[in-house]
Structure 1
Amino acid sequence: MAASARLPRHGRLDLGAALSNHPDMRDSVRVRVSRDLCGGARPDFGGPATAEDRDLFRYDVNAPLNLRKTVESTNAGVEVSRIAFSSPDGGLVTGRVTAPVTRPGPRPAMVLMHGIPGNARAMTDIAQNYARYGAVVLAINAPFVRRGGPVRRFTAQDRAEQIQLIKDLQRAVDVLRSRPDVDPDRIACMGVSWGGAMGALFVGIERRLAAAALVVGHGGPVSHSTGPDGFKHIARVPCARRVAWIQAMAPIEPIRFVGHANAPLLLQNGTLDRLIPVADAAELHAAAPQPKTSLWYTAGHNLNQQAVADRHAWLVETMGIDPM
């Protein structure tokens, strides 16, 4: 495959090659500690998440969903609907469900998580594609989309919203499992870019997934904002505020949680990606547990058609969508 760079069959990333331009970094979840968090080095995330860390994302599974659905369109057997349901941390989770209504059930299903900037509607093409191949697809809006305003505020609100998002994604699984057209044993998740990073956190919490695809993902907001290539993202934030934000967010950094995943993982990244440096992505690939498939492509942030084909084939195998 000329368009992509595959790894050996065991799926492990060649970190020596991937990090050849970053000799100061290690293939470990625990990274170097900076004496001055305003200096640009990543903090020590403290190793894999503990049971106490994971308890932050507990919610009342018996709480009513208060599900609302409004059909927007039906075309070629695919129905698109607006959806809303109660968030465990208050308010309504909003999003869209795309379903193959003429196909006999129960069907495989997927939860989609968008990137930054983005929203559930931005995932429409991806959702419709998988619905055409037999999956019921639910894409939700992140809390920052629902409230409006800046994506990040570099306050404690960022931490609260990241915790809320993971609870909302768990409730999205509840929604899919409540549908008579969904096979509860064939639910996958897919996150793109920031959504891929959040997917890495989600798979460390949610135990009911059959598979998870982390597409152009990275280790998390702190990793992405404090590494050798990423410090520019928070350079203008005043030092005291920056340190407080890092201290609040580091305990819930996705790279600390991905090792708890209990479903097969697909990780796809591009070696020419200007938004997600190879080193950031490689740390996530290294932290992900087996069984995993790590794929690299000579491509930018949008990857390429080979990545789309590889992902589809992997989803056919792991959660049973129709072959392309």
Structure 2
Amino acid sequence: MTNNVFLAASICLFLLVTNSFAQKDDLPLHLFSYDKTVPLALTDSVIGHEDNVAIHRISFASPVADRVNGLLFVPSGKGPFAGILLQHGAPGTAMNQTPRGVYVARHGAVVVAISAPFAERSGQAIQLTPADSVEQVTYMINLQRAVDLLLSRPDVDPTRLGYVGRSHGGAMGGLLAGIESRLKTYILAVPDGGLISHFTIASGEPADQLPIPVEQRKRWLAAMMPIEPIRFIHRATSATLFIQSARQDEAVSTFASEQLHKAAPAGTVVKWYDAGHRLNSQSYVDQLSWFHDKLGTTAPGPADQNGPNFPPPATKP
């Protein structure tokens, strides 16, 4: 079978499976179960303060791996606060989430950002081998443990929990929404349907973006298909969803975005932005407004209009 024929077949299979699973619940949910009695064994140290937000470096035990590393952002005051998971893209780590964490936390939320498993090792974030599926399952379990961490804090209101993730973190939020019922709302910024969607689907036509041998591709697709986020997002009926997509997105095609929108449960709010994959300042203001409406955090004000205080891009010498 030629590469293009195989890829076309895989895309057809992908669309067939995602459409069929929109009506079914025979999904491998057992993969995301974990021993909830494992102690968090949390380590926590304050590493700075910004805009009345304390920034903590944290680490806690994973039931299926070693340690989960990340950042914790705690606003001043006594609370109770909302609790929000904040997830990075690929490649990336929790450690570069400080501008976004502070931006959200100063509105009355304890924010947890953890590093994805791929951020804890060397090499490419996505390996295009079945190891990616192992890491994705581990990631979901670690995110559920991050919810456990939020719920263990007396300054967090357990009825006001949310999630915001961008790019890969947005796609993973679609998967988490299908398996984690304790969060009240999810914001998925510039997501696609998952790694298969990202690497094999462009404008609805075959797009050979997997420069690997055919047999390796078959093994990778077989490992990733069962846990592709687009297959799970329809189960997110106990939470509200806000999906932010970009019309000039250079990383996520309009077709891939629309496939995820179609798979999402009824009532999902979708907003398109005239922007690229990085979105724009309005998208961040909209996130604050969404959390204000759904979780009771404070509304965005004049100081929020430019978005998070990202450092300027590095200049070439």
Q: TM-score range by the shorter chain?
A: 0.7 to 0.9
Cα deviation code 1:149-202 (max 9, x no counterpart): 221222221110000000000000000110111111111011100110000000
Q: 1:277 aligns with which of 241, 248, 253?
A: 253
CA distance in 2, matches of 1:293, 1:52: 25
Q: Does 1:70 align with 2:45?
A: yes
1:194 aligned residue: 168
Q: Does 1:211 align with 2:185?
A: yes
Question: CA separation of 1:218/1:52 partners in 2, compared to 1, >3 Å: closer, same or farther?
Answer: closer
What residue ranges of structure 2 are gaps of 5+ in the alignment? 301-317
Alignment of 1:258-277 (within 5 A): 258-261=233-236, 262-277=238-253
Cα deviation code 1:79-131 (max 9, x no counterpart): 0011111112120010000110x222110010011101211122211100111
Q: Does 1:94 align with 2:94?
A: no
Question: CA separation of 1:50/1:35 partners in 2, compared to 1, >3 Å: closer, same or farther?
Answer: farther
| Percentage of identical aligned residues | 39
1:79 aligned residue: 54
Question: CA separation of 1:42/1:116 partners in 2, compared to 1, >3 Å: closer, same or farther?
Answer: farther
TM-score, length-scaled by structure 2: 0.87
The one of the two structures with greater contact order (alpha-carbon pairs below 8 A, sep at least 6) is 1
Q: 1:158 aligns with which of 114, 132, 150?
A: 132
Q: Does 1:60 align with 2:30?
A: no
TM-score, length-scaled by structure 1: 0.85
Cα deviation code 1:299-320 (max 9, x no counterpart): 1111122222222111111111
Aligned length, in residue pairs: 289
Q: Which amino acid aligns with 2:111?
A: V
CA distance in 2, matches of 1:249, 1:76: 41
Please say if residues 41 and 228 of structure 1, whose CA atoms lie closer than 8 Å, have aligned partners that are also in contact.
Answer: no
CA distance in 2, matches of 1:131, 1:93: 21
1:142 aligned residue: 116
2:13 aligned residue: 43
Alignment of 1:86-125 (within 5 A): 86-100=61-75, 102-125=76-99
Question: CA separation of 1:308/1:75 partners in 2, compared to 1, >3 Å: closer, same or farther?
Answer: closer
Please say if residues 202 and 253 of structure 2, whose CA atoms lie closer than 8 Å, have aligned partners that are also in contact.
Answer: no
Q: 2:288 aligns with which of 300, 312, 321?
A: 312
What residue ranges of structure 1 are gaps of 5+ in the alignment? 1-33
SS at match of 1:279: helix
Alignment of 1:229-240 (within 5 A): 229=203, 231-234=207-210, 236-240=211-215
